[in-house]
Amino acid sequence: MWEKTVHVQPPYNFDRVLDRLSINPLIDLNKDERSVKVPFYIKNEPLVVTVKATGTTENPNFVVKGTQTDLSEQALQQVSHILQWDVPLDKIQDHFLQTDLRDIFIEHRGTPLVLDFDPYYCLMKCIIHQQLNMTFAYTLTSRFVTTFGEEIEGMWVHPRPEKIAELTVEDLRELQFSGRKAEYVIDTSKLIAAGELTLNDLQSKTDDKVIETLVKVRGVGKWTAENFLLFALGRPNLFPMADIGIQNAIKKLYNLEKKSSYEQMEEYSKPWEPYLSYASLYLWRSIE
């Protein structure tokens, strides 16, 4: 067992993080204890790390615990990356206080852009969630993980692409996947398992290059690629205009009778650069 205390630059509102994570029924968290268990892989070994907040938004401190002592440093780095502890939110907050999003940023001050626990899981989740309502999307994702993943320390760790690559469409149809969505999940996993699509390599590519690479994969459109950039890679300047939530949030923000055109949304968003991802995040928060 290992334990480490971490101090994060304020503001950082961990209670907002837990609110967001609680949407996913797979995640084991306790709002009262202000803790969450984070499952992921290091060197293809599944492990679970527990993160507990001991501070406040203005003085954010955390205790991080795990069982594999030999992997403690790598695990801590991974948790820091997932929870975006190294991103200075004060600078971003100051930027948006000068924009039309001022009130939203005051209300949700210190809300970070938390990443999915693994790039492969993020891509699978994005594909599964395409054109589904939120409730059923998470139900389907939960079935996917609990059927083909691995249970460690009472937590489900998502399956590896090599396992999903070996499935048949019928295997996923039994979980209520559509035939087409099952094909997308399996075929994409085959590309990753075969090394034809290397997700870790995307980290060093530009946003445009990542989108260009991913949309070549059958079943991956621009919406999925942009969500991968946001929630797998943590890119700071993404604004998925095709997202219904973003459209509804802008409609609410500006008291519009109907949703804006892409041209109007682009005009609204110009002052929000170079932090469009945070504009997206806080706009989503404003209607949840």
Give catalytic residue positions. 243
Say how far apart CA 102 and CA 221 lie, in whole Å: 32
Peptide bond into 46 cis (omega under 30): no
- Helix and strand totals (H; E) in the chain: 14, 7
74 Cβ neighbours under 8 A, 6+ residues apart: 42
Element (H, E) at 155: strand 155-157
Contact present, 26 and 103 (Cβ < 8 Å): no
Contact present, 15 and 34 (Cβ < 8 Å): yes
Sheet holding 61-66, edge to edge: 2-7, 61-66, 45-53, 35-42, 29-30
Say how far apart CA 76 and CA 5 lie, in whole Å: 10
Helices 244-253 and 262-269: crossing angle in degrees, nearest 10, is 70
3-class DSSP state for residue 251?
helix
Contact present, 22 and 29 (Cβ < 8 Å): yes
